[in-house]
Amino acid sequence: MRKVIAIYPGSFDPPTNGHLDLIERGSKIFDRLIVAILRNLDKAPLFALSERALMLEAMTEDFSNVRVDIFDGLTVDYAAKVKAGAVLRGIRAISDYEYELQMALMNRRLQPNLETVFMMPAEQYSYLSSRLVREVAQLGGSIKGLVPDLVERRLREKLDPAVKLQHARDLKPRKRG
Ligand code: PNS
């Protein structure tokens, strides 16, 4: 039987529990799912590509049919390269619809055989976005429960280098006196 490979493209800056929710749903309906991080030269990201890839790899290590990759150029070209038949995207609210519809139809025009599949994340993530997570974290608000613990730690380290130093100290084996 033909196996369906899907890509889940995005910026993931940073990855959130909403992304993870969608990855879990996607991993159940596709044979293989590739989480594809866009190398976007126009944007100055908070997290480097390699940092985002490491976080996503850790978040998805329990899903045997999911892998993480980095791509540049057109999504349709990347999909062809990895032989994907579908693009997975999340729709949270009506406000996402217009942008997602435009992208899906443009991608269809560029590559008619590539289908976009929309899935809805769990209700509790319907207001969640990477942009809001960045903003709340940067302004000192709590992002607990919105991102995996490891992402929360990386965010705190990124925004406050003193926290990184403390984490490094906590991990260092103490000398016995
Ligand atoms: O997480 P994002 O930022 O909403 O993801 C947007 C993404 C990466 C899916 C979109 O910008 C994209 O596909 N970029 C690749 C370039 C491309 O194919 N552009 C035409 C899309 S219609």
Domains of the chain: 5-127 (3.40.50.620)
Per DSSP, 73 falls in state: S
Rounded to whole angstroms, how far apart are CA atoms 157 and 166?
A: 9
Catalytic site includes residue 130: yes
Q: pTM (2 decimals)? A: 0.92
Is 9 a pocket residue for ligand 1 (Cβ < 6 Å)?
Answer: yes
Among 12-16, 32-36, 82-86, 138-142, where is mean pLDDT lowest?
A: 138-142
Of the pLDDT bands very low, low, confident and very high (cuts 50, 70, 90), residue 164 is: low
Q: Residue 57: what pLDDT?
A: 98
* 37-63 residue pLDDT tens: 999 887 799 999 999 999 999 999 999
Q: Which atom of ligand 1 approaches the CA of 74 most closely?
A: 18
Catalytic site includes residue 2: no
Taking CA atoms, 55 is separated from 2, 61, 100, 102, 124, in Å, by: 31, 10, 25, 29, 22
Catalytic site includes residue 50: no
Of the pLDDT bands very low, low, confident and very high (cuts 50, 70, 90), residue 1 is: confident
Q: How far is the CA of 172 from the centre of ligand 1 (A)?
A: 41
Catalytic site includes residue 43: yes
Q: How far is the CA of 87 from the centre of ligand 1 (A)?
A: 11
Q: Residue 162: what pLDDT?
A: 66
Residue in the block written with tokens 């850790």 = 58
Give the mean model confidence (pLDDT) for residues 26-47.
94
Q: Name residue 16's amino acid.
A: T
Is 74 a pocket residue for ligand 1 (Cβ < 6 Å)?
Answer: yes
* 97-127 residue pLDDT tens: 999 999 999 999 999 999 999 999 999 999 9
Of 27, 52, 89, 130, catalytic: 130
